[in-house]
Chains A and B, each alone.
Chain A
Amino acid sequence: MANTKNNIIEEVTNSEYKYGFVTDIEMDTAPIGLTEDTVRFISSKKNEPEFLLAYRLKAFKKWQEMTQPQWAHLNIPEIDYQNIIYYAAPKKKKELSSLDEVDPALLETFNKLGISLDEQKKLSGVAVDAVIDSVSVKTTFTETLAKQGIIFCSFSDAVQNHPDLVKQYMGSVVPYGDNYFAALNSAVFSDGSFCYIPKGVRCPVELSTYFRINAANTGQFERTLIIADEGAYVSYMEGCTAPQRDENQLHAAIVEIIALKDAEVKYSTVQNWYPGDKNGVGGIFNFVTKRGICKGSNSKISWTQVETGSSITWKYPSCILLGDNSVGEFYSVAITNNLQQADTGSKMIHLGKNTKSTIISKGISAGYSNNSYRGLVKISKNAINSRNYSQCDSLLMGDKCGAHTWPYIKTENSSSIVEHEATTSKISEDQLFYCQQRGISTESAIGLIVNGYAKEVLNKLPMEFAVEAQKLLSISLEGSVG
């Protein structure tokens, strides 16, 4: 038994990261290091209006005053912020008018990733904005969406074409001084996605962004801004991959969601950055600030995430429930293997009356990894009749890994109900035995049990992602016996 166990674990840990290729594309990069000049360089490169440069410089100044946070249950090797290229864009040869003119090497990249940007995708009804090394390369469906008044474009396009919206909402949920990585991002962000759904419009397709880090030594700093106007609905998906490299690469992104009255935003992520090899060499540092605000009454924001990649994850998608009757949801499956570390969870800040939030978090740790859930549920004085339910379960596979839960519960009124539950265990031998005795191999049985364990969250994913997520789950863990 022990032998099979070892074999299986070995197999799992050896399973290759299939997105670890590098594409040879000519890049336009900023000089290495970070100074005020770098910030100005990025801003001028992108031909940004004055207000944005001012914003970046304010953020840069703030960042210089801050220190990297130490409170997370993570062991972060020292990051040399002066040894990172803060801007890397595929070199533009000329303006592109159709997909045929896109660099074939780039297209090849996306085909390998399984995202075809061409019109075939129409069938699956997914509009894609692909971001490579923090620059948006191609956005599909823009015109179709434009008919409904939906703006879905790269962040830089939004800056050029809709500066008012950007000015009004950027930084309104995650201010530039929010935290160390948010400040860094606010100073040097290169691109990202922008989405605006006008009043009463239900976005007919799933919007999707694909992030890819390609160039060496670069950090990826993108920003996503989603605004759902009154009564609007949008489902937004995000996926990410990176090549296999020996050094760690930094990814510090910001996602801001604004849901106005009666609006609903569903944000799904399958995070599959390169996690480093089995000795913990290389991999992405994924330090992301994601936050949404339910500004109007009856609005809803739902985060769903499947975290399998990154060598270190530091990420707490949050909801500020400002509007009365607003709803916040967080569904997460976080898997860590080998020497991966994850400190992830959610914050639910209840400010409005009758607000509701749900947190379902499933952590799975294997190998030598450490997986932490860290969450905050805060019910303020005025959030009367609010309700929270949190459940965070951890599954341990192997005796070298760790699973931790750090919930914070703050309640300041008497009419609200907060419940938190958590369990930590391994896959029970009874369950395994039951499956095996019915002729299911150990490996499949574990796949089955883990999938069942994560089902509650996977069910919340849009179809396209659910399939990918299930595959990822089985790649990451198939056969690990605890």
Chain B
Amino acid sequence: MRTENTSFPLSDKLINDFEVYQSDIKQNDTEKIYNIRKLAFADFLKQGLPTQTLENWRNTNLTDVYNETYNHYYQSPEKIEDIDKIFQCNVPHLNTLMLASLNGWYVSKDEALTKLANGVIYGSFAAALLEYPEIIEKHFAKYADNAKNGFTAINTAMALDGFFIYIPDNVEVKQPIQIVNIIHHDKNICLQSRNLIIVGKNSKLTLIHCDDSYNHQKSLSNTVSEIFIDENASFDHYKMQNVNNASTLINSSFFHLERNARICSNGLSLNGGILKNDNYVMMDGEGCETNIYGLYLMDRKQHIDNLVHVEHLHPNCYSNELYKGILDDTASGVFNGHVIVHKDAQKTNAFQKNKNILLTDKAKVNSKPFLEIYADDVKCSHGATVGQLDTEAMFYIRSRGIGEHNAKMLLMYAFADEIIQKISVEALRYRVEDMVKKRLRGELSVCDQCVLHCSHPEKEFNFEIDMTKV
């Protein structure tokens, strides 16, 4: 535990707001939930915001972010008209069930919560607090460990809305669910959102999670997702990040797997000021399988920090991590991998790999693939490489009459392709292929970058996308 007392405008503001907006914060809470919030707040008071003195944060400097002043909102915004127009996805042939949030608040033109005939419930976390407190109480703050860092603690204490998805036992959700977070505000904004996703026994869910921003204001987004995957269930997770260069995203996902559950998570970070993606996977049963992939393409002053923490608690589990990144200009990338194989987790297979390409001398990479193993009958490996485009491959392509620029593009694309091919939703894969190509060509400009592809950025707050053209 840290001993020094670090105080920043941001933490002071948050501490102050917890008291001032007490009634707003607890408006939907049951007593039990509010007690959890109070405990988490006490935890936050103890540890404060994470600084570089913490091992997992030592390569990500957020001091400037902490010293910034933001607007915080503890009331959901007015009902928004034309939701269809605001949140539309132009990914061709991608047929998803779309849920949307604006600045951390769930928005929809119908009910805040939808219950389907097969028992699937989805919608606003705030509404679920009121309507399904028994489900929330069972899972809320059970997997997200407040001790991990101050952001998780303060999120548990103060996040009021987000997404709630409940898949009962024995339901295979054919249509992927897509959640879109839009950050749009004319002032600096700090938002905290909380997602709870429960996949019941033998069920199956594919989730596409997009973070986008629409303007150029500074923002800090602190999102915590708790994902519970019950026995034999399967969960596919795609995370797309395309936010402006003034945005800071702190994304912490806590996966809890029961026996024979499997997850596949794919993080695609294409743009953002500072991105911190923490994935904690707890495999609490035999025969679990975890695949975590990540691709990051960073340029300018962008910074990305990916943390993958996988715990093998029981025998016969499998985990595989593959993170690849291309860093241009003065961008910096961090990979924190940590696999812990506990004492009884025999017959564990755990693999970790991080590969980086640095395009300039000012780009930086910090890679820390850790292995901590207490069982003997295991197969574990990790690898990390940092290098540049293969000169021989380059020569080969060029000797066949392809220009240097194109050859470079081809090689970079081939490097990224390994991750893209892991995307099993076909329409999404095509789209990501296209976006990665654009990104590598530098065409993915701030406005063109988002999945939404709004064509008239000068128009105010209106993501005009015509679905009929799709």
Q: Is the CB of A404 within 8 A of B369?
A: no
Q: Is A411 an interface residue (CB 8 A)?
A: yes
Q: Tell whether, in the assembled complex, residue B378 and residue A424 are in contact, meaning their CB atoms are under 8 Å apart.
A: yes
Complex Cα–Cα for A409 and B383 (A):
11
Cross-interface CB contact of A407 among B358, B361, B368, B374, cutoff 8 Å: B368
Residues of B contacting A418 in the complex (Cβ-Cβ under 8 angstroms): 384-387
Complex Cα distance, B377 from A20, in Å, reads 34
B279 within 8 A of A: no
CA distance A407 to B386 in the complex (A): 13
Question: CB-CB < 8 A to A405: which residues of B?
Answer: 369-371, 382
Nearest Cβ on chain A to B172's Cβ, whole angstroms: 37
The verdict on B373 contacting chain A, using a C-beta distance below 8 Å, is: yes
Q: How far is the CB of A360 from chain B (nearest CB, A)?
A: 15
The answer to the question of B356 belonging to the interface, with a C-beta cut-off of 8 Å to chain A, is yes
Binary contact track A411-454/B, C-beta < 8 Å → 1, others 0: 11111111111111110000000000000000000000000000
- What residue in chain A is nearest B380 (Cβ atoms)? A424
> Can you identify 12 A-B contacts, CB atoms within 8 angstroms?
A73-B372, A381-B362, A399-B343, A401-B374, A401-B376, A404-B373, A408-B366, A419-B387, A420-B385, A422-B369, A423-B380, A424-B381
A381 adjacent to B380 (CB under 8 Å): no
B348 — nearest CB in chain A belongs to which residue? A424
Q: In the complex the two chains form, what is the Cα distance from A396 to B343 in whole Å?
A: 12
Choose one: A394, A397, A404, A419; the contact of B385 (CB below 8 Å).
A419
A401's nearest neighbour on chain B, judged by CB, is B376
B residues neighboring A (CB under 8 Å): 55, 343, 346, 356, 358-388
A394 pairs with B373, CB closer than 8 A: yes
Q: Would you give the shortest CB distance from A31 to chain B, in whole angstroms?
A: 34
Nearest CB in chain B: distance from A422 CB, A: 5
- Chain B min CB distance to A180 (Å): 17
Q: Are B376 and A411 in contact (CB under 8 A)?
A: no
A18 within 8 A of B: no
B360 nearest CB neighbor, chain A only: A414
Find chain A residues with CB under 8 A from B373 CB. 394, 396, 402-404, 424
- A residues 27-53 near B (Cβ < 8 Å) are none
A406 contacts B by Cβ under 8 Å: yes
CB B2 to nearest CB in A, in angstroms, measures: 12
Contacts of B387 in A (CB 8 A): 416-419
Please classify the interface of chain B as helix (H, G, I), strand (E, B), loop, or mixed, using the class held by over half of its residues: strand
Q: Bound state CA distance, A412 and B334, in angstroms?
A: 12
- Whose C-beta in chain B lies nearest to the C-beta of A384? B361
CA distance A70 to B358 in the complex (A): 34
Q: Within 8 Å CB of A414, what residues of B?
A: 358-361, 363, 388
Known: A396-B376, A418-B386. A409 touches B366 (CB 8 A): yes
Given A400-B343, A414-B363: 8 more A-B contacts, CB < 8 Å? A71-B55, A384-B361, A396-B375, A396-B376, A398-B376, A399-B377, A410-B365, A425-B379
Evaluate contact between A415 and B361: CB separation under 8 angstroms.
yes
Contact partners of B360 in chain A: CB under 8 A: 414
Give the distance to chain B from A350, nearest Cβ to Cβ, in Å. Answer: 12
A482 contacts the other chain (CB 8 A): yes
Residue contact A421 to B359, C-beta cutoff 8 Å? no
**Known interface pairs A414-B358, A414-B361; A399-B386 also in contact (CB < 8 Å):** no
- Bound CA span A381–B360, Å: 10
Sorting the interface of chain A by its residue count into under 10, 10 to 19, 20 to 34 or 35 or more gives 35 or more
Q: Which residue in chain B gives the minimum CB-CB distance to A403? A: B373
Q: Are A410 and B385 touching (Cβ within 8 A)?
A: no
Selected contact of A425 from candidates B346, B361, B378, B388, CB within 8 Å: B378
Q: Which residues of A are at the interface with B, using a C-beta cutoff of 8 A?
A: 71, 73, 379, 381, 384, 394, 396-426, 482
> Are A409's CB and B386's CB within 8 A?
yes
Q: Are A399 and B372 touching (Cβ within 8 A)?
A: no
Chain A nearest CB from B253 CB (Å) reads: 24
Chain B CB within 10 A, most for which of A396, A398, A406, A409: A409
Residue of A414, A419, A423 ringed by the most chain B CB atoms within 10 A: A414
- Known contacts A403-B373, A418-B387, A409 near B367 by CB under 8 Å: yes
Q: How far is the CB of B464 from chain A (nearest CB, A)?
A: 40
Q: Which of B361, B379, B386 neighbours the largest number of chain A CB atoms within 10 Å of its CB?
A: B386
Q: How far is the CA of A413 from the CA of B343 in the complex (A)?
A: 40
Closest to B376 in A: A396
Report the separation of the CA atoms of residues A73 and B370 in the bound assembly, to the nearest whole angstrom. Answer: 12
Query: In the complex, what's the smallest C-beta–C-beta distance from A471 to chain B, in angstroms?
Result: 25
Which A residues are in CB contact (< 8 Å) with B356? 411
Measured between beta carbons, the chain A residues less than 8 angstroms from B388 are 414-415, 417
Query: Please, which residues of chain A bring their CB within 8 A of the CB of B372?
Result: 73, 402, 404
Contact (A409, B384) CB under 8 Å given A403-B373, A424-B378, A425-B378: yes
Which of A416, A423, A482 is within 8 Å of B381, CB to CB?
A: A423
State A324–B386 Cα separation when bound (angstroms): 21
Closest B-chain residue to A426, C-beta based? B376
How far, in whole Å, are A406 and B362 apart by their CA atoms in the complex? 25
Interface centre among A71, A73, A379, A423 (most CB of B within 10 A): A423
Do the beta carbons of A422 and B382 come within 8 Å of each other?
yes
Residue of B nearest to A381 (CB): B361
- Residue pair A420, B361 in contact (C-beta under 8 Å): no
Complex Cα–Cα for A71 and B53 (A): 11
CB distance from B71 to the nearest CB of A (A): 37
Closest residue to B382 on the A side, CB-wise? Answer: A422
CA distance A400 to B383 in the complex (A): 25
Q: Nearest Cβ distance between residue A12 and chain B, in whole angstroms? A: 15
In the docked arrangement, what's the CA distance between A379 and B386, Å? 10
CB-CB < 8 A to A410: which residues of B? 364-367
Contacting residues, chain B, for A415 (C-beta < 8 A): 361, 388
Measured in the bound complex, the distance between the Cα atoms of B362 and A407 in whole Å is 22
Smallest CB gap from A421: residue in B: B383
Interchain nearest-CB distance for A255 vs B (Å):
27
- Cα-based distance from A423 to B382 in the complex (angstroms): 7
Q: Are A422 and B377 in contact (CB under 8 A)?
A: no
* Cα–Cα, bound, A417→B368 (Å): 16
The interface residues of chain B lying within 8 Å CB-to-CB of A425 are 378-380
Q: How far is the CB of A430 from chain B (nearest CB, A)?
A: 13
In the complex, chain A residues whose CB is within 8 Å of the CB of B381: 421-424
B372 to chain A, nearest CB (A): 5
Contact of B375 among A399, A416, A417 (CB under 8 A): A399
Contact residues in B for A379 (Cβ distance below 8 Å):
386
Question: Which residue of A73, A398, A413, A423 is within 8 Å of B358 (Cβ)?
Answer: A413
Q: Which residues of B contact A413 (CB under 8 A)?
A: 358, 361
Measured CB to CB, the nearest residue on chain B to A71 is: B55
The residue of chain B having its C-beta at the shortest distance from the C-beta of A373 within the complex is: B371
CB A384 to nearest CB in B, in angstroms, measures 7
Pick the 5 closest A-B CB pairs, nearest first: A396-B376, A414-B358, A409-B367, A424-B380, A411-B386
Is A422 in contact with B367, judged by CB distance below 8 angstroms?
A: no
CB distance from A225 to the nearest CB of B (A): 33
Residues of A contacting B367 in the complex (Cβ-Cβ under 8 angstroms): 407-411, 420
Which one of B346, B371, B385 lies within 8 Å of A422 (CB-CB)? Answer: B371
| B386 and A396 contacting across the interface, CB-CB below 8 Å | no
Cβ contacts under 8 Å, A409 to chain B: 365-368, 384, 386
B467 to chain A, nearest CB (A): 43
Closest to A388 in B: B386
Do A426 and B361 touch across chains, with their CB atoms under 8 A apart?
Answer: no
Alpha-carbon gap, A71 to B58, bound state (A): 13
- B358–A411 touching, CB < 8 Å: yes
Residue on A nearest B335 in the bound complex, by CB = A409
By a CB distance below 8 angstroms, the chain A residues around B376 are 396-399, 401, 426, 482
Q: Determine the distance from Cα of A69 to Cα of B381 in the docked complex, in whole angstroms.
A: 28
Residue of A nearest to B364 (CB): A412
Q: Are A420 and B358 in contact (CB-based, < 8 A)?
A: no
> Complex: how many Å from CA A405 to CA B341?
12
Q: Is the CB–CB distance between B363 and A422 below 8 Å? A: no
What's the minimum C-beta distance from A166 to chain B, rounded to whole angstroms?
Answer: 37
Q: Which residues of A contact B370 (CB under 8 A)?
A: 404-407
Q: Which residues of A contact B359 (CB under 8 A)?
A: 414
Complex contacts, B365 vs chain A, CB 8 Å:
409-411
Complex CA distance for A71 and B370, rounded to whole angstroms: 14
The distance in angstroms between the C-alpha atoms of A381 and B364, with both chains bound, is: 9
| Bound complex: CA A271 to CA B368 (Å) | 28
